Amino acid sequence: MYDKYGSVLRIETVINRPYEFKVRRRGRRQDQEVTGWFPLAKGVCNMYRYAEVSRAANERYLDALAPVDDPVQNQQQIHRLGSALRKNGRSYRGFNPLAKLDRRLFAAILRGEHSIMGFRNRDIRHHLFGPPKDGTALRRQSSRVSRLLKLLHAHKLIAKIPRSRRWRVTSIGHAIISTMLSSYFINYQKLQVTQPC
């Protein structure tokens, strides 16, 4: 994203590793010719798919930026987010935007790089805890992130991407989390300015 000539906000998506994306085409699987989803290869014949993927990423990114300007309409949803809820016989805690872990979790799932293909447990684990020290720490961190993802899903902040292990932030999630983070940082900056040295 950049401001072109100081007058137009321009958003672009550059795809350096196209094999992470899929394209529907004819190909071979188990020695049979089939039509299905295959890795996106570099080449002019797949240019239409590059455009589809890039446009979808740009639209998700713009949608994520849009709700930040109008926090008033999200206040009821933010209030509900702080309350516990029951779903399918299980109880899920609410979120506390002042808690450091919740803030870091929200910031991790809203990172711009996840607008293209979503995020996995591994991506969020890396942002929250960094590289693990050993296999035991890796399993413990992975389990903890799995529980956090279930919690976000129960509150309808994220949704599973079909046929994958990836998640994406929902439109409601973008609106609520963006509002919470922006209001927290605005109030935090005001607090820092008013505190005596």
Q: Which of 62-66, 93-97, 115-119 has the lowest mean pLDDT?
A: 62-66
Q: Is 110 helix (H, G, I), strand (E, B) or coil?
A: coil
Query: Any idea which architecture 72-197 has in CATH?
Result: Orthogonal Bundle (1.10)
Top-confidence residue, 58 or 195: 58
Give me the residue label for tokens 């049979």: 32
Joined together, the tokens standing for residue 111 give 């990172």
Domain ranges of the chain: 1-69, 72-197
- Provide the CA 26 distance to its chain's centre, in angstroms: 31
Residue-wise pLDDT for 27-84, tens only, equals 888 888 999 888 888 888 888 888 888 888 888 777 766 655 455 556 677 777 888 8
pLDDT at 187 over 70: no
Rounded CA gap, 154 and 150, in Å?
6
Q: Where are the beta strands (DSSP E) in the chain?
A: 2-4, 8-10, 22-29, 32-39, 85-87, 90-92, 158-160, 167-169
Average pLDDT over residues 162-191: 77
Residue-wise pLDDT for 147-162, tens only, equals 999 999 999 999 999 8
171-194 and 100-109 helices cross at what angle (nearest 10)?
130
- Provide the CA 136 distance to its chain's centre, in angstroms: 27
What does each C-alpha distance from 174 to 45, 77, 92, 144 come to in angstroms? Answer: 34, 12, 20, 22
Helix (H) or strand (E) holding 8: strand 8-10
